[in-house]
Amino acid sequence: MKEPVLDRRIVKTKKALRDALTSLMKEKTFDEITVSDLTVRADINRGTFYLHYRDKYDLLQQSEEEILAGVQKIRSKKKKMLKKEDLPVFDFMNKPLPLVAELFEYLQEHAEFMTVILGPRGNPAFHVKLKEVMSSTMAQSILARLGEDQEELIVPIDYLSSYAISAQLGVIQHWLNTGMKESPMEVSLILSRLIFSNPVTLYKHPKT
């Protein structure tokens, strides 16, 4: 699926440009960033940029797709996914959901890019794409199974999905924006508790 080019110069140039993009997005909005900005920061000739990317959007897209492919890869580890019959016995309050910890580890590895792309200067289209990838995986798949007999649900299943996925992304964003103080394991557990609780059951000793 991929391996055609491996010339050191190409690899070096592309990496320099991607790093420059991440670096510049900490300072400016994407649309304020010019190709000149990128090549100056990357210490690359401007013409060279066009040898590898059509324009700055192409650079952004390729960077995004690389990350999304990584998330997809985690997602597709089906062995670790919960099955319907596990649901009643799985201890959501004390064990993080199987694939979620891996996801946070991956995010941590790519923290710089993830933080800017999901931040205030980021790309909302990336949010959408990430949600799409996440919606076919993780706790989402559990929620979907929960809603298999949709007639029984008191809210439309699509609203339940949107709600749950956005919530998960919210936790991811908060974790990134606060400097990833918790370990991937810890934040996974927090997420698991949030998903499978409601405001009342979030207490150690429920009052009602």
Applying CB under 8 A, among 4, 8, 91, 178 the residue interacting with a second copy is: 178
Q: How far is the CB of 126 from a second copy (least distance, A)?
A: 9
* Partner from DNA, a second copy, none contacting 159, C-beta within 5 to 8 A by type: a second copy
Plot region of 197 (φ>0 → left; ψ -120 to 50 → alpha; else → beta): beta
Main-chain phi, psi angles of 166, to 5 degrees: -60, -40
Binding pattern for the stretch 142-161 against a second copy, x by CB under 8 A and - elsewhere: xx--x-----xxxxx-xxx-
Shortest Cβ 138–a second copy spacing (Å): 13
Helix H or strand E segment including 124: helix 124-135
CA–CA distance from 194 to each of 51, 94, 96, 187, 188 (Å)? 47, 12, 11, 11, 10
**Residue 165, binding choice from a second copy, DNA, none, Cβ under 5 to 8 Å by partner class:** a second copy
Contacts of 188 (CB under 8 A, 6+ apart): 96, 97, 100, 101, 103, 104
Interaction of residue 198 with a second copy, rule CB under 8 A: yes
Residue 137 found at the interface with a second copy (CB under 8 A): no
Q: Which does 6 bind (CB under 5 to 8 A by kind): a second copy, DNA, none?
A: DNA
Distance CA(173)–CA(167), nearest Å, equals 10
Site size with a second copy, rule: CB under 8 A: 55
Q: Kindly state whether residue 108 participates in binding a second copy, applying the rule CB under 8 A.
A: no
